[in-house]
Amino acid sequence: MIWFFYNSFFPIVFLMLLPRFLLRMWKRGGYRKGFLQRFGRYEAAVQERLRNRPRVWIHAVSVGEVLVALRFMRALRERRSALAFVLTTTTSTGHAIAAQQLSADDVLLYFPVDLPWIMTRVLNRLRPLALVLVEGEIWPNLLRLARRRGVPIMLLNGRMSKHSFRGYRRVRPLVKKALACFDLFCMQGPEDAQRLRELGADPEKIRVMGSAKYDVTEPSHMDLDPVRALLLRAGFDADTRWLVGGSTWPGEETILLDLYKKLRAQDSKTRLALVPRHAERRQAVMAAILKSGLAGVAWSELKIARASHTPAADVLLVDTTGELNHFYALATVIFVGKSLTSHGGQNVIEAAVFAKPIVIGPYTENFTTVIADFRTANALIQVPDASALERAVAELWADNQAAQAYGRRAEQVVHDKAGAIRASAECLLSLLLN
């Protein structure tokens, strides 16, 4: 009866949300590419590759989850070199990152709509050895149909925020049925595990592993010379001190622009780099820069411009996908966004791995376990509002020794907490052997 109600109401909800979904795809670009894959329709070449060998199916929604999935795949290959994978993503940005880094042996697709006839078609094509869902993906039809076929199912780097928990609790009977399909839950922290238990998951299937994102970023492999060369060509001096706003959301850019003006008045070498969470917001962010009375330049334009040694702008708008870490590596101080507005925060590990001082706002519920790790080690500064942000950044800007100490502690947290990917890979291999 529960499945009947889900399959009766989900198509209605899907049709209601479809215009919004299509608009978002159009704004992000590349919406035509792979569109039919969302309905389980694959090109002949893709079908041929899927027929060649069974694969582990890993689903990762967007960029952060994709990076975890790629590192997980590498860890599995280090142990079982013959394994092959199909990776699905939901967003075009996640798809773009995966396309850049995925092994030629693996298949990249868009995730299909969770309707029974579509999921049946997809499972017939993929014939997965196992199904791995990254972080918080609970799709009832996929889970039910995969379980019916005897496919081992695992949740990797699972998290359950307060917001998600409240939503799932409203449909607990359905969620409990879906959770029963899993063989293993590899959760980030004790709170995530407890919320999962309260939703009806079998406690015997739950493991607390820590965050897999500690294993993802590897700065030693990053070549910054092309970035530095382009910045020099654009007129930014080699000794520029960068305040970097990473993964910012609407409202945060204006706060950082006001803060930057005050910093620049004290230190002429200061520049601001804004890296919005969604690159399609480039026009709105540039409008905010110009409205503030500052000169801005877009990174995408610098990359295609042929002129050199132009006067440096005040603000660099990084409006490309997959380059946030380059600017974290160059930063003097980093503000990690989506945290001054009530949207749950973003991943601070990407900044910490470069031994940089990090400041965040009060809203971090999407990363409670990670933020607790950093706060315990006094490895970041969390502020309640914009005024406190201004004071914290100004103090770090003026005290290089204190800033470096925060950076070293942040880097040490990453080193100490790594290992979830390796442990999770061993768990999946055990499932496959069983």
Per mean pLDDT, which range of 27-41, 58-72, 92-106, 169-183 is the poorest? 27-41
Domains 2-209+419-433 and 219-417 share a fold: yes
Please state, in angstroms and rounded to a whole number, the distance separating the CA atoms of residues 407 and 354. 8
Per mean pLDDT, which range of 29-33, 79-83, 177-181, 274-278 is the poorest? 29-33
Note if the pTM is more than 0.85.
yes
Q: Please list the residues that pair with 58 across neighbouring strands.
A: 87, 132
Asked if residue 215 has pLDDT above 70, the reply is: yes
Per-residue pLDDT tens over the stretch 163-185: 899 999 999 999 999 999 999 99
Fold classification of 2-209+419-433 is Rossmann fold (3.40.50)
Q: What is the mean pLDDT of residues 107-118?
A: 94
What is residue 238's three-state secondary structure?
A: coil
Asked if residue 284 has pLDDT above 60, the reply is: yes
Q: What is the mean pLDDT of residues 85-112?
A: 93
At residue 14, the pLDDT reads: 64
Tokens of 249: 């959301």
Q: Work out the pLDDT band at 21, boundaries 50, 70, 90.
A: low
Q: What is the mean pLDDT of residues 33-37?
A: 83
At residue 219, the pLDDT reads: 66
Q: What is the mean pLDDT of residues 255-278?
A: 96
Asked if residue 311 has pLDDT above 90, the reply is: no
Q: What is the mean pLDDT of residues 332-349?
A: 94
Asked if residue 419 has pLDDT above 70, the reply is: yes
Per-residue pLDDT tens over the stretch 368-417: 899 999 999 999 999 999 999 999 999 999 999 999 999 999 999 999 99
> What percentage of residues in the chain have a pLDDT greater than 70?
91
Asked if residue 5 has pLDDT above 90, the reply is: no
Q: What is the mean pLDDT of residues 356-374?
A: 95
Q: Work out the pLDDT band at 26, boundaries 50, 70, 90.
A: low
Asked if residue 70 has pLDDT above 80, the reply is: yes
Phi and psi at residue 430, in whole multiples of 5°?
-65, -40
Asked if residue 31 has pLDDT above 60, the reply is: no
What is the CATH number that goes with domain 219-417? 3.40.50.2000
At residue 137, the pLDDT reads: 83
Q: pLDDT: is 204 or 313 the higher one?
A: 204
Please state, in angstroms and rounded to a whole number, the distance separating the CA atoms of residues 135 and 59. 10
Q: Work out the pLDDT band at 146, boundaries 50, 70, 90.
A: very high
Q: What is the mean pLDDT of residues 338-359?
A: 94
List, as own/partner pairs, every contact residues 390-393 make where C-beta atoms lie below 8 angstroms and the sequence separation is at least 24, other chains included: 390/258, 390/259, 390/262, 392/359, 393/243, 393/259, 393/263, 393/333, 393/335, 393/359
Hey, how many other C-beta atoms are within 10 angstroms of the C-beta on 340? Answer: 24
At residue 163, the pLDDT reads: 87
At residue 32, the pLDDT reads: 61
Please state, in angstroms and rounded to a whole number, the distance separating the CA atoms of residues 4 and 173. 13
Write down the domain spans for the chain: 2-209+419-433, 219-417
Please state, in angstroms and rounded to a whole number, the distance separating the CA atoms of residues 77 and 81. 4
Mean of the per-residue pLDDT values of the chain: 91
